[in-house]
Structures are given as structure tokens and as C-alpha cells.
Structure 1
Amino acid sequence: MTSWIDQPDALASRLAAWAGQPLVALDTEFIRERTYYPQLALVQLAVPGEILLVDPLVPGMDEALRPLLLDASVTKLMHSASEDLQALLRGCQALPAPLFDTQVAAALCGLGAGLGYQKLVEQVTGVQLAKGETRSDWLRRPLSESQREYAADDVRHLHAVHALLDRELAERGRHDWLRQDAERALRGAADEGDDPWPHLALRSAQTLDREGQARLARLLRWREVQARRSDKPKGWVLDNELAVALARRPPRSLSEFHAVLDRSPKAPRKARGELFEVLSAPLSEQELSLPLADADGGDKARLKALQQAVATRAGELSLPEGLLCSRRHLEALLAGRGWPAALEGWRRELLEPVLSPILAGG
């Protein structure tokens, strides 16, 4: 049975009836095309035999949802939860803990990295789900029957998927791995701390010299602040390509700066004066001491050896290499920036014995 819930009291009543349920399937629909923060547009909840489509646009619905999200006795079943977590935090001021992410669990069970929900459901249940409402406008009301059916499907099969993955994790002794990854995801969603080195996430930063990368890092930090303040997508504030171009050849005057921006169709229209000041201010010694984005990771031969060690370990464990350790994290290790937070826990326990000799060999 699927029910549309547009009254907080009705939701509270249904959730009270679910008391004692150890598992609740959870998904969201949100819109993020024109904003920095995701706009929560729909929340889907399910226990065996019942699905609730909850309208979070109704005043007071966030307060009615919050007790379930915070209930430590109820595990929330979600698939590829990272952006949903941000939407829930923004819309309900709460995160769903404890969390069982079926996409991560599937990867830990050796079923493949980054499996989409439709593909995973088909593998587990044989059911083929429709994809027609993927880019739908979830903020419009009323939702169409097609939208409601699509949304209900997103939680309808999570209990069946969980049952299989839970057994497989138990057989492989990897429940704790999943728990650690879920807790890290929740911490990441709650942490809005600024990335001190945002340039490292852009491959094009590798084409810049040290001063260019320092300017780029400064521009990207400014962009992050502006995007949050205005609740606009980062690319609307300052496009990546333009940011790299400005960092490479900073205009020498305000008039030259305006001329460069006027030639770019994606250039910002507002805050140009502030942006020019940010770009033209002298670089400090601290800024110039930043870690560099390096195409070879600083040492091509050792990077290749590290990648091979990860591939071998991943093969032994029947894990996707990217799930175990990404190239970006190997580059951080090679640059002497220590073990990234994403590798702490079970990953470091598995990798440190095989990576440390290679790192020490430099």
C-alpha cells in the first residue's frame, strides 16, 4: 500500500504505528539545478507492506520526520545516500543514523562499484524498474501518478536488497567495514568545513605553476563562500575553466579584467570588483607553500607501484580498486600529506602494510 502524506499529524500517526520496526527504507527526491544546497522535494519511507510518500514542502513536516531520522534503534536503508544526506540535513536539520547504504554494501560484497539502484534491484530481485522520471520536476504539485509510482519504486525493493546484502556481508565479515563507511558519510554530510586545497580536485590545475595553483586555490575558496552565501551553484559564481584561465594569466588592471570576463559567456556579472581584489592581492608565503596538483603525482614510477599494490590487494579481496583507494588518495600519500581521512579505518589497516614499503622507498 502506498500513501501520500501531506499532514504532519498523519505522518506522526503512521510512524507511531511503525514502532518496533528495526529497518526503514528511505529515499529522497531533490532539486539542485539552480541552488548550492539541494532543495528537498519528496521523502519516501517504507516498511514491508507499506510505503509513505511524504511532502516535505508542508510546514511542520520536517519536525515530524526528525524523530525517525534520529532514532538510533532504526536502521535506515538507502542507496547511494551522499546527496540525499545533504538534502535531509538541509530540509530536516537531521541525518539518518544508523545508515545502511546498499550501493556501498554491494561494492563490499563484490557485486561492482557504483551500481545504480535499478541495476542492483534487477540483479537481486529480477524486477526491471522504469527510469522515466529521473529528471522530473519534483517540486511541482500535485505529483503525477507516474512520479508517485517511480518514487515508490525507489524504496519498494530496498528491504529485499538489504536482506541479501546483509547475509553476504556477514559471510565475508564486512559488516564493520560498512558501518565505518556509513559513519564517515554521515560525518562528511554534517561537515561544511572549507577544503583548504580545492585546486587538487581539478585536473586542469596540473597545467599551472606554483603561483598559478595558489591563485586558483584562492579563487575556488572565494567561490565556495559566495556560492553558499547566495545559494547558487558554484559554476554560476565562477566557472572552472575561467578560474583556471584567470589563475594562469591574472589581468594587470581592472579594465583588462573586465575585458577578459566580457569575452567569457559564463563570467560572473556580480561581485566583479571583489573578485578582482581577490585575484590581484599578492600571494603570501603560506599560500605558496600549498601542495601541488601534479600530473605524475610527484613520482610516476612510485605512483604506478602504489596503484599496482592497490590493484593486487583489491583483487585478493574481490573489491573494486576505486572503492579500496583512489589515485587521488595515492597522490596525497606520495606528496607526504599523510593518510587521507577517507582511508582511515579498515582501508588503512589493509593498505598500510603493502603501501608503506613503497612510500619509504623514495
Structure 2
Amino acid sequence: MHHWISSPQALSETLARWAGQPLVALDTEFIRERTYYPQLALVQLAIPGEIILVDPLVPGMPEALRPLLQDPAVTKLMHSASEDLQALQRGCQALPAPLFDTQVAAAMCGLGAGLGYQKLVEQVTGVQLAKGETRSDWLRRPLSDSQREYAADDVRHLHAVHAFLDRELAERGRHAWLRADTERALRNAAQEGDDPYPHLGVRSAQALDVDGQVRLCRMLRWREAEARRADKPKSWILDNELAVALARRPPADFREFGAVLDRHPKAPRKSRGELWETLSAPITDADRAIPLASGDSLDKQRIKALQQAVAAVAEAQGLPEGLLCARRHLEALLEGRGWPEALEGWRRELLEPRLAPILSGG
């Protein structure tokens, strides 16, 4: 059974009754198809034996949720929390700390990287969950019975999953690893900082020369700022394909630029003047000092050697390679950009002894 909470007073009364509970399961439903920021549409909370569905669209409800989210005495149990954190930060101006992310914990326990909630629940409890409302409209009211049941299932088994993973982490001595990763996830969600080098995430940027990558980086930075300002998806502002094409062969003047944009149905209209200024501004030596996407020009033998070293460490620790280190982090190391923040802490302690000789050429 679950209860629908439609007033801040009812929520406050329920949370007062839950006082002293050390663990609360938490999930959200949100909509993001037409906006940059996720629109918080539902918050699910559970303690053993009780599930509530909270309507965050009701005035005053985000404020009533905030004390629980910020209570340091209550660990919030979530699965694959990164996008939920963004939705809660945007919708409630608060983040659920401390946090126990069952997806991250499962990976640290050797159950697999990126394990979905349904698969994890089945693996731990034997229960098979329905998937019917995955793409549902969570902003509509009232929600259907099937929507509510699906939403309740998302927190119904988190306590059982946590109990299993907590024991597994204790046996492996990896609770500190999980705390480090979840604390970093919370910091990242709180900062909401723009990526200073967004071109590095575009694979086709590797085919551009230095000036082309500078132009692409500029346009993607502009796109990020414009998407935030307009609260629209980034692809609605400027898609990657058009951005790379403009960076590779910048038009000679604004007239030619307009003609190129007119041939692309998804090209910006009202803001094309700003985009042209961003694209056509003179490139300086300081601009050319940005890190470059240069995967194909890197020493492939050394990349392979680094990947093999990561694989050996992962196997020895019983970890998925993807949890330990991504290829882009190895590329950053090989390019001399130092240890990425994502590898600091326990990952660096495991990897540096194996990677340092390869990086130094030994």
C-alpha cells in the first residue's frame, strides 16, 4: 500500500511520525523532454512498511520536503541518483545528504556497472517489477493507478537492497569508497557548473584542427548558457552536427552564415546574431591553449597499455572497468593534463602504481 500526500501539512505530519528512522528510501519522477532543467513531478518516500507519494506541484510542498532532504541523521537510499539530484536541487533547492546510491554500491560489490533498478531488485530479492510506466507523463493530475503503483515500486524494495549491499560493502571494506563517490555526486549537483571544455565530449571534434576545436568549444559554451537562460534542451538550441560543420568550415560572412542555418531545420533563429559573433570572433593564442580532442593522434600503444593496466586492477578488485576509469580519463592523463578529479581518492590509490610507469614511458 501507498499513500498520496497532497498537502504540506500532511507531509510534515508524516515525517514527524517517521522521526528516528535512520534510513528513508527516496526516488523522483521528472520530465525533461522540453526543458533544460528537469521538472520535478513526483517524490516517492518509504520506510519499512510504509510508502508515500508526494505531489511536489502543490505550493509549499518543496519547502516541507527540505528538512528531510537535509537531515544529516537520515541516510537517503536512492538508485542511480544523478538525475534525481538535479531534479531535487532544482525543485526543492536541497539535496538528499547523506546518500546511499544502490547502483554505485552494486558496482563496488562486483554485481555489474550501471545495473538497472529492476535487475538489481530481481537479483537481490527475486521480485520481478513491471516496466510499463517508464515513459509516462508524470506531470498530469490525477496520476493513474498504474502510475502510482509503478512509482511506489521504485522505493518499495530499496531497504532490502540496501541491507544486502551494506553487508557486501562491509565485507569488502568499501563503505568509504561509496561515501566518497556519493559526496562527489552531491557536490557536482550543488555546483551545476558548466563544462569549460565541452568539445572534448564530441567524438567528431577529433577530426577538427586546433582553430576548429576552438570555434566548436566557443559555440558549445554559448549553447550551454543559452539553454540555461531559455530553459530548453541543448539540442534545441544548436545540435552537435551543425556545430561541428560550422566549426570545420566557418562561413565567410553573416549572409553566408544565415544561408547555412536556413538549410538546417533545427538551426537557431532568434539568436543567430549572437551565435555568429561567437563563431566569427578572432582566435587568439590563449584560445588555442585549450585541451584538444585528439584521440586518434594519441599513442595507441600506450592507450592500450593503460587500458590493460586498468583491466588488470579491475579484475583484481572484482570491479567493473567502467566504474574504475573511463577512456577519456586515460586520454587526459596521456596528454599531460594531470589526474582528473573523477579519479582522485580511492581510484588513484589503486591505479597510480600501475599507470605511472606507463605514463612516464617506463
Q: Distance in 2 between matches of 1:222 and 1:306?
A: 34
User: Could you tell me which amino acid in structure 1 is paired with residue 53 of structure 2?
Assistant: L
The structural deviation recorded for 1:297 is 6.0
Q: How many residues align?
A: 362
The structural deviation recorded for 1:268 is 1.1
**Paired residue secondary structure (2:296):** coil
Q: Does structure 1 conserve the Cα–Cα contact (< 8 Å) formed by 2:295 and 2:331?
A: no
User: Could you tell me which amino acid in structure 1 is paired with residue 61 of structure 2?
Assistant: M
Q: Distance in 1 between matches of 2:31 and 2:146?
A: 18
Q: Does structure 1 conserve the Cα–Cα contact (< 8 Å) formed by 2:88 and 2:94?
A: yes
Q: Distance in 2 between matches of 1:224 and 1:28?
A: 25
The structural deviation recorded for 1:54 is 0.1
User: Could you tell me which amino acid in structure 2 is paired with residue 247 of structure 1?
Assistant: A
Partner of 2:218: 218
Q: Distance in 1 between matches of 2:247 and 2:199?
A: 11
| Structure 1 residues 135-183: Cα deviation after superposition (integer angstroms, max 9, x where no partner) | 0000000000000000000000000000000000000000000000000
Q: Does structure 2 conserve the Cα–Cα contact (< 8 Å) formed by 1:36 and 1:234?
A: yes
Q: Distance in 2 between matches of 1:286 and 1:192?
A: 26
**Paired residue secondary structure (1:319):** coil
Alignment of 1:123-134 (within 5 A): 123-134=123-134
| Structure 1 residues 22-69: Cα deviation after superposition (integer angstroms, max 9, x where no partner) | 000000000000000000000000000000100000000011000000
CA RMSD of aligned residues (A): 0.8
Q: Does structure 2 conserve the Cα–Cα contact (< 8 Å) formed by 1:129 and 1:153?
A: yes
Q: Which runs of 4+ in 1 moved over 3 A?
A: none
- The reply to whether residue 170 of structure 1 matches residue 170 of structure 2 is yes
Partner of 1:149: 149
Partner of 1:135: 135
Partner of 1:85: 85
- The reply to whether residue 119 of structure 1 matches residue 133 of structure 2 is no
- The reply to whether residue 40 of structure 1 matches residue 40 of structure 2 is yes
Q: Does structure 2 conserve the Cα–Cα contact (< 8 Å) formed by 1:297 and 1:335?
A: no
Alignment of 1:341-352 (within 5 A): 341-352=341-352
User: Could you tell me which amino acid in structure 1 is paired with residue 177 of structure 2?
Assistant: W
Partner of 1:106: 106
- Segment drifting more, 179-188 vs 269-278: 269-278
Alignment of 1:1-362 (within 5 A): 1-296=1-296, 298-361=298-361
The structural deviation recorded for 1:298 is 2.0
Q: Distance in 1 between matches of 2:55 and 2:197?
A: 38
The structural deviation recorded for 1:356 is 0.7
Q: Does structure 2 conserve the Cα–Cα contact (< 8 Å) formed by 1:297 and 1:303?
A: no
User: Could you tell me which amino acid in structure 2 is paired with residue 171 of structure 1?
Assistant: E
Q: Distance in 2 between matches of 1:276 and 1:221?
A: 14
Q: Distance in 2 between matches of 1:140 and 1:285?
A: 52
User: Could you tell me which amino acid in structure 1 is paired with residue 32 of structure 2?
Assistant: R
User: Could you tell me which amino acid in structure 2 is paired with residue 98 of structure 1?
Assistant: P
Q: 1:192 to 1:212 in 2, by over 3 A?
A: same
Q: Does structure 1 conserve the Cα–Cα contact (< 8 Å) formed by 2:199 and 2:213?
A: yes
**Paired residue secondary structure (1:42):** strand
The structural deviation recorded for 1:355 is 0.6
The structural deviation recorded for 1:285 is 1.1
- Segment drifting more, 296-305 vs 237-246: 296-305
Q: Distance in 2 between matches of 1:185 and 1:271?
A: 33
- Segment drifting more, 94-103 vs 298-307: 298-307
User: Could you tell me which amino acid in structure 1 is paired with residue 302 of structure 2?
Assistant: R
The structural deviation recorded for 1:294 is 1.1
**Paired residue secondary structure (1:44):** strand
The structural deviation recorded for 1:270 is 1.7
Q: Distance in 2 between matches of 1:35 and 1:75?
A: 30
The structural deviation recorded for 1:290 is 1.2
The structural deviation recorded for 1:194 is 2.1
**Paired residue secondary structure (1:27):** strand
User: Could you tell me which amino acid in structure 2 is paired with residue 140 of structure 1?
Assistant: R
| Structure 1 residues 289-322: Cα deviation after superposition (integer angstroms, max 9, x where no partner) | 1111012362111111100000000000110001
Q: Distance in 2 between matches of 1:46 and 1:286?
A: 53
Q: Does structure 1 conserve the Cα–Cα contact (< 8 Å) formed by 2:107 and 2:323?
A: yes
The percentage of aligned residue pairs carrying the same residue is 80
Q: Distance in 1 between matches of 2:63 and 2:99?
A: 20
| Structure 1 residues 170-227: Cα deviation after superposition (integer angstroms, max 9, x where no partner) | 0000000000000010011111222111100110111101110010000000001000
Q: Does structure 1 conserve the Cα–Cα contact (< 8 Å) formed by 2:206 and 2:296?
A: no
**Paired residue secondary structure (2:336):** coil
User: Could you tell me which amino acid in structure 1 is paired with residue 89 of structure 2?
Assistant: L
Q: TM-score, normalised by structure 1?
A: 0.99
Q: 1:300 to 1:277 in 2, by over 3 A?
A: same
